[in-house]
Amino acid sequence: MLKPLILVAALVPTAVLSQDAVGGREVYLDHCATCHGLDATGNGPTAPALIVQPTNLTLLAAGNDGTFPTFRVVARIDGRDPLVAHGSPMPVYGDFFEGKGVALPDAAGQPIMTSQPIVDLVAYLETLQE
């Protein structure tokens, strides 16, 4: 008699996580530096024209008891947590950040489904933390 097979494929993320901070830097320079600045401190060339000043992205972990706030950052970028100061959900680049879902673990190891460009961008932002 054959024993029933238990399939666990549904528990495996849709793609294997591969963070690319170098690719994330390119994403940052193309889509974020205009407001947040080349050094990510919030002093980009368009910052003076904004009513609400861009966040200093080098202090995200410092403002979260030393832990990089992965879920909050992903949610801001992918629009789950819209930032009213941007006048629309962030990013305004929308479609660029869409794509095949990958699982990115948060600080507690819980998976956050997002896209590869966001995974790479988060990897880069983590390297900038003071």
pLDDT in tens, 32-71: 999 999 999 999 999 998 888 899 999 999 999 999 999 9
Lowest mean pLDDT across 66-70, 74-78, 86-90: 86-90
Query: Residue 31 belongs to what domain range?
Result: 18-127
The pLDDT score that the predictor gives to residue 107 is 85
Number of structural domains in the chain: 1
- Cα separation, 53 vs 62, whole angstroms: 19
CATH number, position 78: 1.10.760
In a domain, 102, yes or no: yes
- Cα separation, 97 vs 108, whole angstroms: 24
In a domain, 2, yes or no: no
The pLDDT score that the predictor gives to residue 30 is 93
Coil, strand, or helix at residue 102? strand
> Scanning the structure block, which residue is given the tokens 């680049």?
93
Give Cα separations from 106 to 64, 71, 83 (angstroms). Answer: 13, 6, 21
In a domain, 121, yes or no: yes
In a domain, 1, yes or no: no
In a domain, 10, yes or no: no
Containing 112, the helix (H) or strand (E) segment is strand 111-115
H helix runs in 70-115, sequence order: 70-78
In a domain, 4, yes or no: no
In a domain, 31, yes or no: yes
In a domain, 67, yes or no: yes
Coil, strand, or helix at residue 46? coil
Q: 31 or 52: whose pLDDT is higher?
A: 31
Structure token digits, residue 124: 């880069």
The pLDDT score that the predictor gives to residue 14 is 43
